């Protein structure tokens, strides 16, 4: 996971939060972090959904 993506879990939902100001551009680091986060969520038991959100004013 990269420092551009925050991973959190709330019951059976994983939230991947893009933290790449000012507009959360999908840089290589962000794309790699999302891929790593999806791999982590897939490996955890009981995850039913993954939500991807952007920090701040833009997705």
- Say what the pLDDT of residue 4 is: 96
Domain that holds residue 14: 5-54
Asked if residue 21 belongs to a domain, the reply is yes
Q: Quickly state the pLDDT bin for 51 (edges 50, 70, 90).
A: very high
Task: Please give the model's pTM, rounded to 2 decimal places.
Answer: 0.91
Distance of alpha carbon 28 from its chain centroid, rounded?
14
What CATH number did the domain enclosing 34 receive? 3.30.300.220
Asked if residue 10 belongs to a domain, the reply is yes
- Say what the pLDDT of residue 1 is: 72
Asked if residue 23 belongs to a domain, the reply is yes
Q: Quickly state the pLDDT bin for 54 (edges 50, 70, 90).
A: very high
32: helix, strand or coil: helix
Asked if residue 26 belongs to a domain, the reply is yes
- In whole numbers, what is the pLDDT of the chain averaged over residues? 95
Asked if residue 59 belongs to a domain, the reply is no
Q: How many domains does the chain have?
A: 1
Instruction: Say how far apart CA 28 and CA 46 lie, in whole Å.
Output: 29
């Amino acid at each position: 996971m990269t420092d551009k993506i925050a991973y959190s879990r709330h019951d059976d939902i994983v939230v991947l939060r893009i933290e790449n100001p000012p507009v959360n551009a999908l840089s290589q680091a962000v794309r790699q972090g999302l891929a790593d986060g999806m791999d982590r969520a897939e490996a955890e038991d009981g995850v039913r959904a993954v939500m991807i959100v952007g920090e701040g004013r833009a997705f």
